[in-house]
Homo-oligomer: A and B are copies of this chain.
Amino acid sequence: MLAVAVEEARQGLAEGGIPIGGALFGADGTVLGRGHNRRVQDNDPSMHGETSAFRNAGRQRSYRGTTMVTTLSPCWFCSGLVRQFGIGRVVIGEAQTFYGGHEWLSENGVEVVLLDDPGCVAMMTDFIAARPDLWHEDIGVD
C-alpha cells in the first residue's frame, strides 16, 4: 500500500512540489483516491497529501473499513480529517522528519501502523534540507 503513496510523493517532487503522498484504500483493498501535496502546484495550502487523496476519492457515504496511507506522519489537519470521517486505519511511511497527530489518533480508536521506511525518511530529509522555507510554510511554522 505504501508504494502508491510513495509514487504520489515522487510525482509531487517531480512537479516541483513538496514530496508527500497519500492514498485512501477501501475495505476491499481498492484505491478510492490518491494524491499528493499541491501547495506549490496549485498555490493551495489546503491540499496536503492526505487531504488530496481524500478529495480525489470523491463523496463517500461511509469511511468504515478504509485505510489512509501516507508517506509522512499526518499533521493535525490531516489527523483531524481521519478522526472526523471515521477512517479506521492509518499506515505511515515515517515519523522521524515530522511528528504529527498519529498518537492522538491511536488514543482515539484509529489503528496506526508506523513503518519507519528508510526511503520515505531520505526523501523528506533531502527535501527539508533543500527547501526549509517551503517546508516550514507547509506546516505553519513561522
Report A77 CB to chain B, min CB distance, Å: 4
Contact of A139 among B54, B58, B84, B137 (CB under 8 A): B84
A43 sits at the interface (CB 8 A): yes
Contact of A46 among B46, B86, B101 (CB under 8 A): B46
A140-B86, A142-B86 known; A58-B45 Cβ under 8 A: yes
A79 sits at the interface (CB 8 A): yes
Q: Are A51 and B59 in contact (CB under 8 A)?
A: no
Q: Are A55 and B45 in contact (CB under 8 A)?
A: yes
A75 sits at the interface (CB 8 A): yes
Interface string of A37-61 (1 = CB under 8 A from B): 0010001111000010011011111
